[in-house]
Amino acid sequence: MKLHKIEAGDFQVDGGAAFGVVPKRVWQKRYACNDDNFCRVTMRCLLVDTGERRIIIDTGCGDKQLEYLKYYDFVDVINFETELNKIGYSCNDITDVVYTHLHFDHCGGSTYYNSDKTKIEFTFPNATHYVGEAQWNNFLKPNVREGDSYFPENVMPIHEAGKLRLITENQWICPEVELRIFNGHTVGQLVCYIHTEMKTFVYVGDVIPTATNIPVAWISAYDLNPIVAMEEKKILLDEAALKHQILIFEHDAYVESIG
């Protein structure tokens, strides 16, 4: 098995949003911010090559909504074909795409506009795409907190093409990759457990967006259900400690993994 990180770009988030009720005088000692209280975060995607399957976990924001989302100051947003070519792959090689959830910074890169911006194209045309069923239903009828984070053009064409598979319970999509449902940040979020002979790697998504968010009470203000977010984070962390799993962080600009 081979694992390849793919840095899909960086953006800025407000530190108060990133660390919730934790006071700035406490969190700024652990995560850097600028004079405007903004923290740099990354969109760290993962390519899992099992030999039989080539699985992309999350796809960053893509370039379709950059002007609308310019408040976040996105930089270095990638072209997946270019990045995959650097490590010996192409977008056509990808067999599966897993969305942890459908907020724009996790799924936008899986579609793009053609050259004259009249048609949506698929970044990974041969892939089956996976998302939690509860997350999909939330995407279709979002609550007031999450409505601005969902864009139909990111995934609706994939659904209409019959390439989207809905996950209703914890399951394995191949012998090496397990999907588990976590509901605190948003409903139906998927956490990927990648099992090798030596170690299990856990792509934690927004359950633990940065290493600084590891303490159970250090949750983001973006979390839809704070109590559930803390409870489920503790479950994840307890198992990781017991089984010596390696956590891979999607948003931490300074720490890629820990374990």
CATH of the domain at 240: 3.60.15.10
Could you tell me the pTM of the whole model?
0.96
Which residue range forms the structural domain that includes residue 113?
2-252
Bridge partners of 121, per DSSP, are 112
Residue 143 counted as domain residue: yes
Tell me the pLDDT tens digit for each residue of 171-204: 999 999 999 999 999 999 999 999 999 999 999 9
Residue 259 counted as domain residue: no
The dihedrals phi and psi of 97, each to the nearest 5 degrees, come to -125, 125
Tell me the pLDDT tens digit for each residue of 107-118: 999 999 998 888
Residue 230 counted as domain residue: yes
Residue 16 counted as domain residue: yes
Residue 221 counted as domain residue: yes
Q: What is the DSSP string of the chain?
A: -EEEEEEEEEEEEEHHHHHTTS-HHHHTTTS---TTSEEEEEEEEEEEE-SS-EEEE-----STTTTTTGGG--B-PPPHHHHHHHTT--GGG--EEE-S--SHHHHGGGEEE-TTSSSEEESSTT-EEEEEHHHHHHHHS--TTTGGG--HHHHHHHHHTT-EEEE-S-EEEETTEEEEEE-SSSTTEEEEEEE-SS-EEEE-GGGS-SGGG-STT---TT-SSHHHHHHHHHHHHHHHHHHT-EEE-SSBSS--EE-
Closest of 230, 154, 242, 243 to residue 195, by C-alpha: 243
Tell me the pLDDT band of 99, cut-offs 50, 70 and 90.
very high
Tell me the pLDDT tens digit for each residue of 147-166: 999 999 999 999 999 999 99
Residue 257 counted as domain residue: no
Tell me the pLDDT tens digit for each residue of 22-52: 999 999 999 999 999 999 999 999 999 999 9
HSE-CB for 242 with a 13 A CA cutoff? 6
Q: Give the total number of structural domains in the chain.
A: 1
Residue 24 counted as domain residue: yes
Residue 155 counted as domain residue: yes
